[in-house]
Amino acid sequence: MTNISNASSNYEVSLPVSSDAILNLLEAWKIPFNRTDHAPLHTVEEAKKFQSQFLSPEEGGGHIKNLYLRDNKKRNILLVVEQDTKINLKTLHKMLEVGRLSFGSSERLMENLGVRPGAVTPLSMITGRKKGVQLFIDSDLKDCKQIYVHPLVNDRTIALTLEGLETFFDKIKITPYWIKLEK
């Protein structure tokens, strides 16, 4: 079983794409970002303790949670939503037009997104695209000035604009499904 504490940059060399490599790609692609290093964060609750240094949701800060899901037809899904969004897996599958959903295992997470629990991020689609992972993003995040994501490890956070995130998706040749979640 994977130890959740090893989602930090101390173990980035064991990832298919390291955090340093993804940051170097963002720089090479001229996608601006601001990086903040911090203690490893495993949950939204832990992350909220550090958010005072970022834009608040009212100021346009996009604080997200990322759910790695698998449907009963063995399709892998990454769902990106605002951090306080309540998700009901029993009804979500209808909205996404997929089979019944459950959380993917830490082993499948590494295999399909190349990250460990606590470090799931839209940037993990750099590996997910090769594995056929479908990316769904809450369309409410389009209103954010900055979106805060982990760069494949959970002891770093980067701030990106929506345009920067979309440029990243264009560069890795994926098109996310923007969805309106029932709140």
Structure tokens given for 100: 């019944």
- What is the distance between the alpha carbons of residues 19 and 60, in angstroms, rounded to a whole number? 25
Residue 1 scores a pLDDT above 80: no
Q: How many Å is the Cα radius of gyration of the chain?
A: 15
In tens, the pLDDT along 104-142 reads 999 999 999 999 999 999 999 999 999 999 999 999 999
In this prediction, residue 82 has a pLDDT band, given cuts at 50, 70 and 90, of very high
Q: What angle do CA 157, 33, 39 make, to 5 degrees?
A: 15
Cβ within 8 Å of residue 28, ≥6 positions away? none
Q: Which amino acid is it at 174? A: I
Q: Where are the domains of the chain?
A: 4-179
- What is the distance between the alpha carbons of residues 160 and 144, in angstroms, rounded to a whole number? 10
Residue 5 scores a pLDDT above 80: no
In this prediction, residue 2 has a pLDDT band, given cuts at 50, 70 and 90, of very low
In tens, the pLDDT along 40-72 reads 888 888 888 888 889 899 999 999 999 999 999
Residue 164 scores a pLDDT above 90: yes
Specify the pLDDT at position 49. 86
In 3-state terms the chain splits into helix, strand, coil percentages (rounded to 5) of 40, 25, 40
Phi, psi of 67 (to 5 degrees): -115, 125
In tens, the pLDDT along 15-37 reads 999 999 999 999 999 999 999 99
Structure tokens given for 27: 């720089």
From the list 40, 50, 51, the residue with the least C-alpha distance to 11 is: 40
Tell me the pLDDT of the chain averaged across its residues: 92
- Superfamily of domain 4-179, CATH level 4: YbaK/aminoacyl-tRNA synthetase-associated domain (3.90.960.10)
Per the DSSP assignment, residues forming a β-bridge with 6 are none
End-to-end CA distance of the chain: 35
